[in-house]
Amino acid sequence: MSTENHERIVPAFMRPDRAALYCDCSRRWLSKLAAQGSLPVIRPSSRLTLYARADLDKLMQSFRIGSDS
């Protein structure tokens, strides 16, 4: 199989670095949105923060400007 037919695999849950790359934004901006309550986070431990891909997609969709056509 050729690699050009495969889509890039994106995990369902991402650490801040990966989430920032996925959204093309800074870790600090994601952290600020999470602190404001605009972006849900998952904290399985005090040292680990995860963002759900579905939540990141919803967030980015909310910033979309223009017509849907």
Q: Across the 69 residues of the chain, what is the mean pLDDT of every consecutive 10-residue run?
A: 59 95 95 95 95 95 77
pTM summary value = 0.78
Burial class (CB in 10 A: 0-12, 13-18, 19+), 68: exposed
Q: Which amino acid is at 18?
A: R
pLDDT of res. 64: 85
pLDDT on residue 31: 95
Exposed / middle / buried, residue 17 (Cβ in 10 Å: 0-12, 13-18, 19+): exposed
Q: Residue 1's pLDDT is what?
A: 46
